[in-house]
Structure 1
């Protein structure tokens, strides 16, 4: 196999962890939420993730949620910023004035630390982590003690991700997590968005109110969404900011994006712990879209449905939750 490397470097002025393995390379930014900002096939000139241009770096640092693979914890919207949990109600900041909600949690904008960096003959890997203690600024608004780790491995079969959450405190921890993964369409350099078909293992669409919060009701899929579920549809067929149940197919929960002209498919296999998908395409603007695997229903603590059904997961003191995902291509 060609060169395998794991090293610390620079990404447009930001300290970076760089991984190489054969034709693949990946870049991780510990200082900006542990965001895996780049995954590329240098041999075929594919760029799979939306990366900020050099003149967009300040914009990216202020709002990294639509680049790379940001981790959302707890994910998505919480009505009026209120988060009822275990007999108490916590108040999160209202950071989405248009809806009056809290959006996307506390981990994707703060510094993480590099725990491990290395390589074998065939793979390169890196682990980054963030630990919230009583002294950490996040504890003031989310008063739980926990550690989140992300391990990325790059090898012949593409990029794998292992996410681990450990409850380090004495109280039950809400383990609610998602990834706001920004996938390029086209990912082939010189390709055209019109040649792309997306397929996602969605089930039904949740009805959302004017504040983008679920009503608890499910809606039938449109004809285009039925194609998104089975067969494939252009990811920019219309504006999408939609929330769906996940419905694994063949035991797998995944998004597939095919460049029909070049005959290559990007597979994003996310694991079955994610009970929901968010799909956002920036108002049907060609260039990128976000198939977002999410453990829990939006605003889950305030929705009167069974916890298991809506992914309202609790970790007891000392407990660990983990899940794996993978990005790879097939032809």
Structure 2
């Protein structure tokens, strides 16, 4: 009998896919019908991600689709006035955050299609899902590019991998900005010592809403994060934006008093990371991005900010992983 399993169940009317690894006491749950959210991951007796109270809450509470689990963001963070200018073309995204901003895109709330799921000793337990802009005329009306997102979540040897591709199946280059927003479960409390390690090379000055106010520079925080800094007293609703060293980046949250570490790895396709502590959950987010917030509207060179396009026929690939040490 395989140590791995992929199973289906219904919660609050939504299909949920569970991936299990008996040997490492690990379970991951994905809800394709609500943004393909990897909303739960527990491993080796530790809760890694903060889940919603229920599927009903994830679907119906205001903004809940990007407040728990692992929302998939396109574009990530905020776009001022919902406006993007790219290659001489203007895009107007819907304003979904008062007074005049677009926040986190729509694929984190839309239904995805399950392509394949299964389990074996060789492959672990996995599920592959797909989202196509071409299937949603209302999205194509303001972003007329048939992008197809394919994401595989795989649990193997206690490690949870999320990888995938984004393909531009159209005939025109599209503005491109992609990110993930995992909410890691962090046991804040009296006397807890929690250390964060990030391979940062510079910090961007930002507002509390992650809007960039100047060019990046080497700071005390960006230097210290390489060795580890305490986040036990990181300000609630505070955020930081960092440029990374390049190559694969592995960040760690070390919960010293409880003797375990949550590790999060992502590839060089994500050269930036946002740090964020929400006020609605005992969580801390490490958000890998392909660009800095609202990069298309910044007065800096695109090579610095990550503002870029995805060409006709081009495929963007990404890979991340999380585990408990």
CA positional deviation for 1:163: 2.2
Is residue 234–residue 277 contact of structure 2 (8 Å, CA) maintained in 1? no
Worse-superposed segment, 171-180 or 209-218: 209-218
Matches for 1:183-262 after TM superposition, within 5 Å: 183-186=184-187, 194-209=192-207, 212-218=210-216, 221-222=219-220, 226-239=223-236, 240-248=238-246, 251-262=247-258
Is residue 63–residue 109 contact of structure 1 (8 Å, CA) maintained in 2? no
Worse-superposed segment, 163-172 or 62-71: 62-71
Provide the C-alpha distance between the structure 2 equivalents of 1:12 and 1:271, rounded to a whole number of angstroms. Answer: 35
2:41 equivalent to 1:46: no
CA positional deviation for 1:220: 5.1
CA positional deviation for 1:231: 2.2
User: 2:139 — aligned with what?
Assistant: 138
Matches for 1:265-280 after TM superposition, within 5 Å: 265-280=261-276
Is residue 236–residue 286 contact of structure 1 (8 Å, CA) maintained in 2? no
CA positional deviation for 1:286: 6.8
Structure 2: state its 5+ residue gaps: none
Provide the C-alpha distance between the structure 2 equivalents of 1:61 and 1:17, rounded to a whole number of angstroms. Answer: 24
Q: Secondary structure at the match of 2:258?
A: coil
Matches for 1:14-163 after TM superposition, within 5 Å: 14-22=14-22, 23-41=25-43, 44-54=44-54, 56-59=57-60, 62-98=63-99, 100-122=100-122, 123-133=124-134, 135-163=136-164
Provide the C-alpha distance between the structure 1 equivalents of 2:190 and 2:184, rounded to a whole number of angstroms. Answer: 14
1:195-242: CA deviations, max 9, x gaps? 32222223322223587421342355355x643342231254324222
Q: Secondary structure at the match of 1:266?
A: strand
Distance 1:57 1:74, change over 3 A: closer
How many residues are paired up?
320
2:310 equivalent to 1:315: yes
Provide the C-alpha distance between the structure 1 equivalents of 2:209 and 2:117, rounded to a whole number of angstroms. Answer: 42
Provide the C-alpha distance between the structure 2 equivalents of 1:288 and 1:211, rounded to a whole number of angstroms. Answer: 17
Structure 1: state its 5+ residue gaps: none
CA positional deviation for 1:138: 1.4
TM-score by length of 2: 0.89
Provide the C-alpha distance between the structure 1 equivalents of 2:135 and 2:71, rounded to a whole number of angstroms. Answer: 24
CA positional deviation for 1:24: 1.3
Distance 1:175 1:192, change over 3 A: farther
Provide the C-alpha distance between the structure 2 equivalents of 1:215 and 1:234, rounded to a whole number of angstroms. Answer: 23
TM-score by length of 1: 0.88
Provide the C-alpha distance between the structure 1 equivalents of 2:94 and 2:174, rounded to a whole number of angstroms. Answer: 19
User: 2:10 — aligned with what?
Assistant: 10
Q: Secondary structure at the match of 1:261?
A: helix
Distance 1:263 1:183, change over 3 A: same
